[in-house]
Structure 1
Amino acid sequence: MKPLTEYRDYRRCMQDFYDERKRTCSFTWREFARLAGFTSPTYLKLVCEGKSSLSELGIERVASAMNLGGFESAYFRHLVRYNQAKDDEAKKNAFASMKDIADANKIRVVDGDAFTYFESWKNPVLRELVAMMPGATPEAVAEMCWQPVTADDVRKSLDFMVSVGILQRKSKNVYVQTEKALIGNSDVMPLVLRSMHREMAGFAQKSIDAFEPQERDISGVTMGIDREAYEQIVRELDSCRRKIVAIANMSKEPSQVYRLNLQMFPLSKNTKQKGEE
């Protein structure tokens, strides 16, 4: 069984515990259930198969049956909450708790660094901004952000980005960007990126009134299309985004941080789908 902090699915964790015990002794689902205090001999098997879930009391019982103590018990509790969360906010909060527990015990969580980076608009914005302001104090950097941010927020963000290698500290208050990218591969990343997109979409809405038209560009088109056209448009948007990044990278003396949102979403149901009202 691998270390607990490497799991993103508590059911897989329980199954691995069961399989490992079964290899070394005559362990059964009945015995596992008995250790956890459940009367149904197949209950935990159903949980591992995704046909049932754990209650808060059940979480504690299973953690005890698996001999999880100390921080592992707390980590398992939040792992179950992460998997059983009903919405993105609850799921995000559970993963953040998992990461805090792992950090406190000097254990790295898979995709944890990428989660932290994309969890807030502050990190990507400050990464760009400090490269334009060599020698600027955290207070001065904070004042350059349109969205509220404190000097302490700036310090914490910069320290984090230096620690994961996407910024390099050359001297006091002088930072340069590295070529390293933070990439996440688990189901955590779509979750935190959705949160980032919501945050940035909110900023875009506010920009309509906050900035003069010559300082921002907001446009849109409403159209009727089929699936083939949709997929072709998405490819064009992706190509356009890549070209824009290339243009941005050619900036000789960047002086301001901008955000570009590319958004395409349905405004109606699919009229060709059967059975819909």
Structure 2
Amino acid sequence: MKEIVEYTDYRKFIQDYYDERKRTSAFSWHAFAQKAGFSSDVYLKYVCEGKKNLSVGSAGSVANAMGLVGFEYDYFVLMVSYAHAKSDGEKRAAFEERCAMARAHKMRVLGDEEFNYFKSWKNSVIRELAPHMPGAKPLEIAHACKQKISAAEVSETLDFLVKAKLLKKDKSGNYQQTDKAIKMAPVEAVPLAARDLQRQMGEFAIQSLDLPLSERVMSGYTLGLTHRAYERIKKEMEDFWRRVVAIATDDDETDCVYRLNMQLFPMSEWLNKSETVLNKEEKNEK
């Protein structure tokens, strides 16, 4: 069975624990439930199948039943707490607490570095900027940023990017990108940080309205769409992104770091509810 920090879903962890015990002994859901203090023989089976939820209050009992102690016990309870968190802020706090706990025990949580990367605009901008400013001191890089950032923040960001293997430092002390593009990790918590980044970049986009037209491109349309048209436009946007990334990564030189935002969001409720439901059902069938 994998280390507990390799799990992000407590249901998957419980299922893997059960499968491992079942493989090596006459373990049963009945015995498992009894040990955890549940009256229903199949309660934990239903939890793993997503039919029931494990409460934060009973997480400790299940952790005890699985023989978890110390760090692993606390980590499991935090996984359950994360699943019950209602807001992005609560989820973010639960995930960051798990990461801090793992780091204290010299372990890395799946998605930890990706989560930290997407939390701030500084990481993506400096990752693009530093490799194209050979020999530059942190203060020079700070001055090259449109947004206010200190030399100390640049140094801290560079250290993080190197540690996360998103930048590498050569013998001359210059930085190089380890990869041309970064793909988001398939971890539920990472999009939470990405939403923070999108909010930051959205605010910067508003500020950039004061820039000369020669330095920015902005346009927008208010459209009346069917759900089918929405899906087609979304597909076009995905294809467009792929072409943009291909163009950007085709050239090794950089003259300026830009941010490209593209949004398509509703300005009203769906008027034809039946069509929306129909399209969702059709999509599920496919």
Partner amino acid, structure 1, of 2:262: L
Q: Which residue of 1 aligns with 2:35?
A: 35
Q: Which residue of 1 aligns with 2:179?
A: 179
1:264 is displaced (CA, Å) by 1.0
For residues 10-45 of structure 1, the C-alpha deviation after alignment (integer angstroms, 9 at most, x for no partner) is 012122223333444444444434433455555434
Q: CA 1:271–1:12 in 2, change beyond 3 Å: closer, same or farther?
A: same
Q: Which residue of 2 aligns with 1:92?
A: 92
Partner amino acid, structure 1, of 2:203: G
Partner amino acid, structure 2, of 1:4: I
User: Aligned Cα RMSD in Å?
Assistant: 2.9
For residues 148-207 of structure 1, the C-alpha deviation after alignment (integer angstroms, 9 at most, x for no partner) is 433333223222222333312124652122336543123344333333222222222233
Q: Which residue of 1 aligns with 2:79?
A: 79
Q: Which residue of 2 aligns with 1:215?
A: 215
Give the distance between the partners of 1:31 and 1:250, measured in 2 at CA. 59
Give the distance between the partners of 2:243 and 2:180, measured in 1 at CA. 20
After superposing the two structures, state which structure 1 stretch, 250-259 or 60-69, moved more.
Answer: 250-259
Q: CA 1:57–1:246 in 2, change beyond 3 Å: closer, same or farther?
A: closer
Give the distance between the partners of 1:266 and 1:249, measured in 2 at CA. 32
Give the distance between the partners of 2:79 and 2:200, measured in 1 at CA. 25
3-state SS, counterpart of residue 169 of structure 2: strand
3-state SS, counterpart of residue 135 of structure 1: coil
Give the distance between the partners of 1:19 and 1:245, measured in 2 at CA. 42
1:275 is displaced (CA, Å) by 10
Kept in 2: contact 1:165–1:180 (CA 8 A): no
Q: Which residue of 1 aligns with 2:282?
A: none
Give the distance between the partners of 2:50 and 2:165, measured in 1 at CA. 39
Q: CA 1:180–1:63 in 2, change beyond 3 Å: closer, same or farther?
A: farther
3-state SS, counterpart of residue 113 of structure 1: helix
1:243 is displaced (CA, Å) by 4.0
Partner amino acid, structure 2, of 1:204: A
Between the two proteins, the alignment pairs up a number of residues equal to 275
1:272 is displaced (CA, Å) by 2.2
The normalised TM-score by structure 1 is 0.83
Give the distance between the partners of 1:51 and 1:243, measured in 2 at CA. 42
After superposing the two structures, state which structure 1 stretch, 66-75 or 16-25, moved more.
Answer: 16-25
Give the distance between the partners of 1:49 and 1:6, measured in 2 at CA. 20
Partner amino acid, structure 1, of 2:32: F
3-state SS, counterpart of residue 261 of structure 1: coil
Q: CA 1:238–1:269 in 2, change beyond 3 Å: closer, same or farther?
A: same
1:127 is displaced (CA, Å) by 0.6
Where does structure 1 lack aligned partners over 5 or more consecutive residues?
none
Kept in 2: contact 1:102–1:109 (CA 8 A): yes
Partner amino acid, structure 2, of 1:185: P
Kept in 1: contact 2:56–2:80 (CA 8 A): no
After TM superposition, the structure 1 = structure 2 runs for residues 1-277 of structure 1, keeping only pairs within 5 Å, are 1-38=1-38, 41-171=41-171, 173-179=173-179, 181-183=181-183, 184-209=185-210, 211-249=211-249, 254-274=254-274
Partner amino acid, structure 1, of 2:271: T
Q: CA 1:71–1:225 in 2, change beyond 3 Å: closer, same or farther?
A: same
Partner amino acid, structure 2, of 1:156: E
Kept in 2: contact 1:14–1:48 (CA 8 A): yes
Q: CA 1:74–1:246 in 2, change beyond 3 Å: closer, same or farther?
A: same
3-state SS, counterpart of residue 273 of structure 2: coil
Q: CA 1:46–1:139 in 2, change beyond 3 Å: closer, same or farther?
A: same
Give the distance between the partners of 2:252 and 2:64, measured in 1 at CA. 59
**Identity across the alignment (%):** 45
The normalised TM-score by structure 2 is 0.81
3-state SS, counterpart of residue 146 of structure 2: coil
Where does structure 2 lack aligned partners over 5 or more consecutive residues?
277-286
